[in-house]
Amino acid sequence: MVEPLELPDTYNAAVHFIDENPAPDDRVAFIDDTGEHTYGELRSRVDLAGRALLDLGARQETRIAMAMFDTVDFPAVFWGSIKAGIVPVCLNTLLTADSYDYILRDCRARILVVAEALLDQFAPILADQPHLEQVVVVGSDGHGYPTLESLCAAAEPSLEPAATNRDEVAFWMYSSGSTGIPKGVRHVHSSAMQTVKFYSEGVLGMNSDDVVYSAAKLFFAYGLGNGMTFPLGAGATSVLLTGRPTPEAVMHILATHQPTIFFGVPTLYAAILADPDNSRETGSQRLRICVSAGEALPESIGLEWEKRFGVPILDGIGSTELLHIFISNRSDDVRYGWSGKAVPGSELSIVDEHGDEVPPGEIGELLVRCVTAAEGYWNQRDKSRHTFMGEWTRTGDKYLKDEDGYYLYCGRTDDMFKVGGNWVSPFEVESAIVSHDAVLEAAVIARPDEAGNLKPKAFVVPASGAEVTEELAASLQGFVKDRLELWKYPRWIEFVDELPKTATGKIQRFKLRELDQSG
Ligand code: 3UK
């Protein structure tokens, strides 16, 4: 067990990662679509962005929402806020207008910093926001709002750090709930540097010679660590991609920037491997570590990747609630199909429904004791009390441990699942499907595709008189796509006469999963 670092009461994470970062001014911190940005440039961009937000009226503890792509502006706004004591709320850039509406109201952000290309998505909901006072656009045209660039150009080039407490909330991230309603997860100043020490240094051995690329975006907890806090913590260089991490775009980055560490999710690894031309030769010859998280990595993908890219993929499990990875494989100790062993700084316990620890070989719920756990969910006290049990955090994951201390992922305690690293709540997708006139009832489960990665499948009971055709299936898919985030639509639809239910009328999704596997 690695002990957490003792920090002084007054501690500002931005001072640690930016101002007091030992990396020399001329070292490259980020490479984005516009080119290289040094640590020196980053330090001044952070001050300017923090100043600009103060100039707009933000104060210590004011929340601002960030809906930004991965460019150097992201760390500038994120750390500039934190340095000023302002609390950035990181938003997924792929949400529907309804989700943005919910989150902006829920977090009560006073300022929204939004990428120009996302303005259309926000437009329908911006006029009616009770807490939002200002919109700042990241891009060349503000469409009537001030741009980040213009505000920074007018700002004083210096910023005093706010005297924040190490235990004070520094930033928020939103995580999906089991009914599909997002929960604001609040992280404190001290946590990011502990994840650097425990996972980035402790497991990956990241150092200043590393060039890293994370296909997971900075607004995810996974990407925030991979692409920002870990490389900054190591004085390393991080490559950022503005656009979508398609297999082609990722291979292009591997070939062009020759990263030493690559972070992906299982579906992306599978998609890259699907093209037989992709290999170490056409990618990065400097790769020394590849990491997968977000959902379980099928063994076949790890083995094939190792053959083609010459390095293993280290599967590890993390969560937004714990900020980063707490169980992981190691470069010299890879067991495919398993999540690996405890990461330094994390103590693990697998318990039964009474909270009693189960012996090795038995499945129970995984609890984690780690200082990087979030301070709680915003305004969701019941859920916070359930999840954050003092020093221990409930993961909602079923695990077993073998005699040697390896951990095997055995599914969720709820029916939630991940598609390409993004949460799907079966309940939310079912609700969307049943709002279609031709549908009486629906149940959604996860089903593995050819590569072994999970995708949504819907069992649908048609409304009486509805004609069951392929067109109906296609129109239901389109119906869900129009209403929910794109990754959530059912890739398969099976029409059935009835759904298995408990005596109290609850859908038994586990029975459908069994049926699906046997069929
Ligand atoms: C599942 C995994 C099996 C698991 C995350 C790395 O995924 C991250 O955070 P989220 O809050 O989801 C957490 C949940 O996702 N999961 C994640 N990784 C794995 N299941 N094998 C894995 N390797 O259900 C977990 O509870 O979106 C991942 C770092 C930071 C993160 N936030």
Residue 418 Cα to ligand 1 midpoint, Å, equals 8
Q: Tell me whether residue 5 is in a domain.
A: no
> What angle do the packed helices 119-126 and 97-107 form, to 10 degrees?
60
Specify whether 307 is located in the same domain as 166.
no
- Verify whether ligand 1 is closer than 6 Å to residue 409 (CB atom): yes
For residue 373, what pLDDT is reported? 98
Specify whether 88 is located in the same domain as 211.
no
For residue 4, pLDDT over 90 is answered with no
Specify whether 254 is located in the same domain as 283.
yes
Token representation of residue 296: 């379980």
Measured CA to CA, the distance from residue 82 to residue 415 in angstroms comes to 36
CATH number of the domain at 306, please. 3.40.50.12780
Measured CA to CA, the distance from residue 87 to residue 233 in angstroms comes to 20
Average pLDDT of the chain? Answer: 96
Measured CA to CA, the distance from residue 189 to residue 146 in angstroms comes to 29
Residue 412, strand partner residues: 397
- Atom 2 of ligand 1 has which residue's CA nearest to it? 295
Ligand 1 atom with least separation from CA of 422: 27
For residue 108, what pLDDT is reported? 98
Of the candidates 498, 31, 107, the residue with the CA atom closest to the CA atom of residue 259:
31
For residue 400, what pLDDT is reported? 96
Specify whether 115 is located in the same domain as 240.
no
Per-residue model confidence as pLDDT tens digits over 70-82: 999 999 999 999 9
CATH number of the domain at 86, please. 3.40.50.980
> What domain range includes position 27?
13-189
For residue 179, pLDDT over 80 is answered with no
Specify whether 364 is located in the same domain as 229.
yes
Residue 119 Cα to ligand 1 midpoint, Å, equals 29
Measured CA to CA, the distance from residue 181 to residue 445 in angstroms comes to 18
Measured CA to CA, the distance from residue 399 to residue 413 in angstroms comes to 10
- Verify whether ligand 1 is closer than 6 Å to residue 317 (CB atom): yes
- Three-state DSSP class for residue 223: helix
What do you get for the CA distance between the two ends of the chain, in Å?
A: 46
- Residue 286 phi, psi (nearest 5): -95, 0
- Atom 9 of ligand 1 has which residue's CA nearest to it? 319
Specify whether 207 is located in the same domain as 174.
no
Residue 160 Cα to ligand 1 midpoint, Å, equals 36
- Verify whether ligand 1 is closer than 6 Å to residue 223 (CB atom): no
Measured CA to CA, the distance from residue 70 to residue 229 in angstroms comes to 14
Measured CA to CA, the distance from residue 298 to residue 409 in angstroms comes to 11
Of the candidates 380, 14, 376, 392, the residue with the CA atom closest to the CA atom of residue 186:
376
For residue 1, what pLDDT is reported? 60
- Verify whether ligand 1 is closer than 6 Å to residue 106 (CB atom): no
Find out whether 106 and 184 touch, Cβ atoms under 8 Å: yes
Provide CB contacts within 8 A for 262, sequence distance 6+: 212, 213, 214, 215, 254, 284, 287, 289, 290, 291
Pocket test for ligand 1, best of 319, 372, 415 (most atoms within 8 A of CB): 319
One-letter amino acid for residue 305 of the chain: W
For residue 3, what pLDDT is reported? 78
- Atom 10 of ligand 1 has which residue's CA nearest to it? 319
Specify whether 64 is located in the same domain as 132.
yes
Specify whether 216 is located in the same domain as 362.
yes
> Quick one: pLDDT band at residue 283, thresholds 50, 70, 90?
very high
Specify whether 158 is located in the same domain as 297.
no
- Atom 15 of ligand 1 has which residue's CA nearest to it? 294
Number of separate domains in the chain: 3
Residue 379 Cα to ligand 1 midpoint, Å, equals 23
- Verify whether ligand 1 is closer than 6 Å to residue 271 (CB atom): no
- Verify whether ligand 1 is closer than 6 Å to residue 229 (CB atom): no
- Verify whether ligand 1 is closer than 6 Å to residue 384 (CB atom): no
- Verify whether ligand 1 is closer than 6 Å to residue 412 (CB atom): yes
Measured CA to CA, the distance from residue 271 to residue 273 in angstroms comes to 5
Specify whether 382 is located in the same domain as 460.
no
Specify whether 152 is located in the same domain as 210.
no
Average pLDDT over residues 333-341: 97
- Verify whether ligand 1 is closer than 6 Å to residue 316 (CB atom): yes
Residue with tokens 């995580």, as numbered in its chain:
175
Least confident of 80-84, 341-345, 372-376, 427-431: 427-431
The last residue of one of the domains, among 189, 214, 248, is 189
Of the candidates 183, 186, 182, the residue with the CA atom closest to the CA atom of residue 172:
186
The last residue of one of the domains, among 189, 219, 251, is 189
For residue 501, what pLDDT is reported? 84
- Verify whether ligand 1 is closer than 6 Å to residue 418 (CB atom): yes
Strands (E), 41-94: 63-67, 87-90
Per-residue model confidence as pLDDT tens digits over 414-441: 888 999 999 999 989 998 999 999 999 9
Residue 398, strand partner residues: 365
Q: Tell me whether residue 3 is in a domain.
A: no
Residue with tokens 């129109």, as numbered in its chain:
475
Per-residue model confidence as pLDDT tens digits over 76-116: 999 999 999 999 999 999 999 999 999 999 999 999 999 99
Q: How many CB atoms lie within 10 A of CB 381?
A: 10
For residue 176, what pLDDT is reported? 84
Provide CB contacts within 8 A for 202, sequence distance 6+: 2, 343, 344, 345
Of the candidates 447, 449, 490, 446, the residue with the CA atom closest to the CA atom of residue 472:
490
Token representation of residue 319: 């969560």
Ligand 1 atom with least separation from CA of 226: 29
b/e per residue 347-380 (b: at least 16 CB within 10 A): ebbbeeeeeeebeeeeebbbbbbbbbbbbbbbeb
Residue 408 Cα to ligand 1 midpoint, Å, equals 14
- Verify whether ligand 1 is closer than 6 Å to residue 396 (CB atom): yes
> Quick one: pLDDT band at residue 475, thresholds 50, 70, 90?
very high
Residue 193 Cα to ligand 1 midpoint, Å, equals 20
Residue with tokens 């095997």, as numbered in its chain:
408
One-letter amino acid for residue 95 of the chain: L
Residue with tokens 């969307």, as numbered in its chain:
432
